[in-house]
Amino acid sequence: MTKNIAVIRGDGIGPEIVEQALRVLDRVASIYGHTFCYTDVDMGGCAIDRYGDPLPEEMLQKCVASDSVLLGAVGGEKWNDVPGHMRPEKGLLRLRAGMGVYSNNRPAKIWPQLAAASPLKQSIVDQGIDFIIVRELIGGIYFGEHQTNQTDDGLTAVDVLRYNEKEIERIGRIGFETARKRRKALCSVEKSNVLDSSRLWKKVMHRLAEEYPDVTLSDMLVDNCAMQIVKNPAQFDVIVTENMFGDILSDEASMITGSIGMIPSSSLGASSCGLYEPIHGSAPDIAGKDAANPIGTILSAAMMLRYSFDMEKEADAIERAVSDYLDAGYRTADIMGDNMTLVGCKQCGDLILERIR
C-alpha cells in the first residue's frame, strides 16, 4: 500500500522528533510491504521566517492533498512579539480549519512502566488511568470574533463563544462512537450553569444519547471535571467537550500520566485524512541538544496508521516496540527514574527501531 504523508517538522525540537518518527514509519513500511511518500511542509515560525506567513496557502494545499499529516511542534519565544494574526499558532488553527478536522482525540493512559512518574498518589494511580478526551477543534471561542476597542472605560476586549447544533452534534457523535468501542461510558463536560452555549451543548448531547442506548451518558461541569481528573481519573472512559475546555483539560490529563513527551494525539474530520501530532510544545531550550523525547511523535505515527490507514497490525507493532523499550529501562531525561539508562532522542529512536518486528 502506498500513502502520501505531509510532514511538518516545525520549530524547536520538531525536526528532531519527527525524524525519529519517520525512521519508525520507514521500518514498518519495509517489514509490511508498504510505501510511505513524504512531502515536506513549512508551518509555524520557520514559515514566518521564510515566507512572512505561518501557513502559506501553497503549504496548506499540500496538506489537504495528502493522505494524512504528521506534525512535530511549532512556535517559540523568537516569534512572541509578532502581530497576533502572524503568530505560529495561527498557522495551526488555519491548518485545522483548512483540513476540516473538527475532532481532537487525545488519550490519557499511563504506561505501567511509568507509574512512579505520575504526580498523583500511588493509591490513585493503582486504580488505573485510561481515558480519552474528545475535543471539538474548529469552533467555539478560538474561532469566534475577536475584538479590542477603545471605549469610555479604556481598551475593551471581546471574544465570542459560539456553537450551533450541527457542530455540537457531529462532535457528540464522535464521543458516543468512541465510547461504544471502549467501556461505553461518555462524560459530557460543559458549563451549563452559566453559559448559553453550554446549555445548548447539554441539550444536544441528551438528544443524541437516545440513539446510543448502549452508552451511558453523564454530565459534568468543567470546573468539577478539572478536580475529578486529579482526584479520581479511573472514573473516566471518554470525555467529550468544547474547544477551550478541551484544550485545558487535555493538558491537565496529560500531566497525570507522568510526561507530556509520551502523549500522541489525532485530529480527524469527515475524511480519513487526519492530523497527527504529539501534545507537547517546541521546547526551544533543548532544541538541537539531542535531549527530546520522540515517543509522543512516534505514537502519533502509530495512531495515523491505525485511524487513517487501517493498519492495525503495524500500529500494534510500534506500540509493542515502545513498551519493550520501556521494559528494558531506557529513558530520555523527561521520564528518567532511578536505575534507568539515560538516552538521547536519536538513541531512543534507534532502540525502538530494533524492537519493531
Give, in degrees to the nearest 5, the angle at Cα 278 between 186 and 228.
35
Q: How far apart are CA 5 and CA 49, in angstroms?
A: 24
DSSP assignment, residue 152? T
CATH numbers and ranges of domains, the chain: 1-102+260-357 (3.40.718.10), 119-256 (3.40.718.10)
Residues 34 and 3 sit within 8 Å (Cβ to Cβ): yes
* Active-site choice (26, 130, 219, 247): 247
Residue 251 known to be catalytic: yes
Start-end of H helices in the chain: 14-32, 45-51, 57-64, 88-99, 122-125, 165-180, 196-209, 222-231, 243-255, 295-307, 312-327, 345-354
Q: pLDDT at position 206, please?
A: 98
Q: According to the model, what pLDDT value does residue 163 have?
A: 98
pLDDT of residue 17: 98
Active-site residue identified among 26, 251, 290, 324: 251
Distance between CA atoms of residues 305 and 326, nearest Å? 22
Per-residue burial over 191-220, b if 16 or more Cβ lie within 10 Å, else e, is bbeeeebbebbbebbeebbeebeebebeeb
Residues 6+ apart with CB under 8 A from 285: none
- pLDDT tens sequence for the chain (357 residues): 999 999 999 999 999 999 999 999 999 999 999 999 999 999 999 999 999 999 999 999 999 999 999 999 999 989 988 887 788 989 998 999 899 999 999 999 998 898 888 999 999 999 999 999 999 998 999 989 999 999 999 999 999 999 999 999 999 999 998 899 889 999 999 999 999 999 999 999 999 999 999 999 999 999 999 999 999 999 999 999 999 999 999 989 988 988 788 999 999 988 889 999 999 999 999 999 999 999 999 999 999 999 899 999 999 999 999 999 999 999 999 999 889 999 999 999 999 999 999
67 is catalytic: no
pLDDT at 193: 98
**Residue from 126, 159, 223, 310 carrying the catalytic annotation:** 223
Predicted pLDDT at 85: 77
pLDDT of residue 255: 87
Contact yes or no for 276/301 (Cβ under 8 A) = yes
Any catalytic annotation for residue 121?
A: no
The catalytically annotated residue of 102, 142, 276, 307 is: 142
Pairing of strands 130-136, 101-109: antiparallel
Residue holding cell 539508562? 341
Of these residues, 62, 191, 212, 307, which one is catalytic? 191
- Among 139, 190, 193, which Cα is nearest to 163's? 139
247 catalytic residue (yes or no)? yes
pLDDT, position 7: 98
The pLDDT assigned to 95 comes to 95
The radius of gyration computed from the CA coordinates of the chain, to the nearest angstrom, equals 20
Can you tell me which residue has the cell 470546573? 223
Closest-CA residue to 70 (of 158, 155, 7, 154): 7
184 part of the active site: no
